[in-house]
Structure 1
Amino acid sequence: MEKLGVIIVAAGKGSRMGTAESKQYLQLGHKPILVHTLQLFQNIHEVDEIILVVGGTDVDRCRGYVQDHALSKVTHVLAGGAERQDSVRRGLDSLQRDTTWVLVHDGVRPFVKKEHVFDCLLKAQEQDAAVLAVPVKDTIKIVDTEKRIQSTPDRRSLWAIQTPQAFRFSLLQEAHERALQDDFMGTDDAMLVERIGTTVHVVEGDYYNIKITTPEDLPWAEWILHNVRGEGQL
């Protein structure tokens, strides 16, 4: 049986939220946002192992969450690095060596639909690399440093990338090792895989899979929790 590992990245401070508490620890319903995310993957039977990567000062708190919420698939709670890419690499280094497939997911995306997780994984199993995404709704403008519009790309070719992102474990390891050797910093894991010549395929998700980042996201998240993706509805 091929093993599936999940890396949950939650080491950011989330300055855009404007709160003293990091966004992943804010309450959503009666639990921290991060706990909702962890429980989602805990409840996916096919997941063998979860690696949680958090800020260095939050490791003990998160180990408490693992114990209090019976998150038995979380095998490691690690301190993250300076950048998200560093945190993912630490997660990769801690996965069991016989892992075949890995999902990388944002700790502040608690509403991804399980069906879409499987769709993304299946596409990766066919093609080695896949990401969830949704078509961009708005017209996008390319703007220079003086805020002058330079061009308008065709909206039909634009997708907003989400997580999870799914990869063959050995491929993502190689991509991270190459990036480290080249001192290259990407914006997501897919970018690292793209730069070593592997095509990454897009799998359509939905617009409820929000990344809770700003204060405006919180009431929307509460609405999703109570009306669309609450306990047992994911």
Structure 2
Amino acid sequence: MQFSNPKSEIRNPKFYAIIVAGGSGSRMRSALPKQFIELCGLPVLMHTIRAFYDSGSSPQIILALHADYHSTWASLCDNHNFTIPHTIISGGQTRFDSVKNAVDTISDHDALIAVHDAVRPLVSSDIINEAYQCAAENGTAVTAVKSRDSIRQINAGVSAALDRERIYLVQTPQTFQSNLLKKAYQQPYQDAFTDDASVVEQSGVAIKLIPGSYSNIKITFPEDIVIAEALINKKSHQF
């Protein structure tokens, strides 16, 4: 596949996007997992897959989805005539297991792999393409934004202010050269593994941050759907 970003000197690399869809509907107060909740007429997950499909990077898409929901997803794809090509693999008990299952299906050690939350449907093509380019050059690319709020840390019941200029809120995609990511996921699981960056960092690799977007929100609570729909409608009216 050819990377179409004109700023990039990369030619015909292999790109993969692992979409992790293991979330439940608990915090949404819904029996339906949040990746299946409708957003502007389509399930959240369809918006997310399309974002990667439509990006200049055109990655091969791997969906890590709990086996219990494979038939649900198939029905949704039929109902919405959703035909974007993607491979479905069974997710694990934890996010770590789901990503590992997906990474293990990729045999190419010279590829670039982006890992992205299924419930971040508003990720832009610019961010996706920049992540692949940065990972190609530096080995890693982790999307993050500076904290807009003041930050305090509690220690032994006492709170202390932290310098918010040095605090970054991590998003996805998190993109890596495949040899680094595959090696990192050979480690045993640890509770400290909160995302792919923490797994790769534990293997001894430095993490490179790239600018994310405050619009790249994670659908977690009911009000997030309202915000996401407003952002989508605003974008559509700009064209």
Deviation at 1:69, TM superposition (A): 1.1
Q: Using the alignment, how far apart are the partners of 2:182 and 2:54 within structure 1?
A: 26
Unaligned 5+ segments in structure 2 are 1-11
Q: Using the alignment, how far apart are the partners of 1:35 and 1:69 within structure 2?
A: 8
Which residue type is aligned with residue 69 of structure 1? F
Residues 146 and 167 of structure 2 are in contact (CA less than 8 Å); yes or no, is this contact kept in structure 1? yes
Q: Using the alignment, how far apart are the partners of 1:29 and 1:231 within structure 2?
A: 14
Among 83, 87, 102, the residue aligned to 1:70 = 83
Q: Which residue of 1 aligns with 2:167?
A: 158
Q: Residue 205 in 1 paired to residue 212 in 2? A: yes
Among 186, 193, 196, the residue aligned to 2:203 = 196
Which residue type is aligned with residue 160 of structure 2? S
Q: Which residue of 2 aligns with 1:15?
A: 26
Q: Using the alignment, how far apart are the partners of 2:128 and 2:74 within structure 1?
A: 25
Q: Using the alignment, how far apart are the partners of 1:128 and 1:152 within structure 2?
A: 33
Q: Which residue of 1 aligns with 2:98?
A: 87
Q: Using the alignment, how far apart are the partners of 2:225 and 2:158 within structure 1?
A: 31
Structure-1-length-normalised TM-score: 0.89
1:20-53 CA distance string (max 9 Å, x none): 1111110001100001111111222433411101
Taking the TM superposition and a 5 Å limit, the aligned residue runs for 1:44-123 are: 44-65=55-76, 68-72=81-85, 74=86, 76-97=87-108, 100-123=111-134
Q: Using the alignment, how far apart are the partners of 1:17 and 1:115 within structure 2?
A: 29
SS in 2 for 1:117: helix
Q: Using the alignment, how far apart are the partners of 1:12 and 1:231 within structure 2?
A: 31
Percent identity reads 32
1:144-172 CA distance string (max 9 Å, x none): 57xx3432211111010000001001100
Deviation at 1:125, TM superposition (A): 1.1
Q: Using the alignment, how far apart are the partners of 1:31 and 1:99 within structure 2?
A: 34
Residues 23 and 213 of structure 1 are in contact (CA less than 8 Å); yes or no, is this contact kept in structure 2? yes
Paired positions, count = 225
Q: Which residue of 1 aligns with 2:224?
A: 217
Unaligned 5+ segments in structure 1 are none
Which residue type is aligned with residue 108 of structure 1? V
Deviation at 1:200, TM superposition (A): 0.7
Residues 62 and 88 of structure 2 are in contact (CA less than 8 Å); yes or no, is this contact kept in structure 1? yes
Structure-2-length-normalised TM-score: 0.88
Residues 140 and 153 of structure 1 are in contact (CA less than 8 Å); yes or no, is this contact kept in structure 2? yes
Q: Using the alignment, how far apart are the partners of 2:75 and 2:237 within structure 1?
A: 21
Residues 51 and 94 of structure 1 are in contact (CA less than 8 Å); yes or no, is this contact kept in structure 2? no
Q: Residue 175 in 1 paired to residue 216 in 2? A: no
1:87-134 CA distance string (max 9 Å, x none): 000111122536510000000001011111111221111110111111
Which residue type is aligned with residue 196 of structure 2? D
Deviation at 1:64, TM superposition (A): 4.3
Q: Which residue of 1 aligns with 2:50?
A: 39
SS in 2 for 1:58: helix
Residues 145 and 168 of structure 2 are in contact (CA less than 8 Å); yes or no, is this contact kept in structure 1? yes
SS in 1 for 2:162: coil
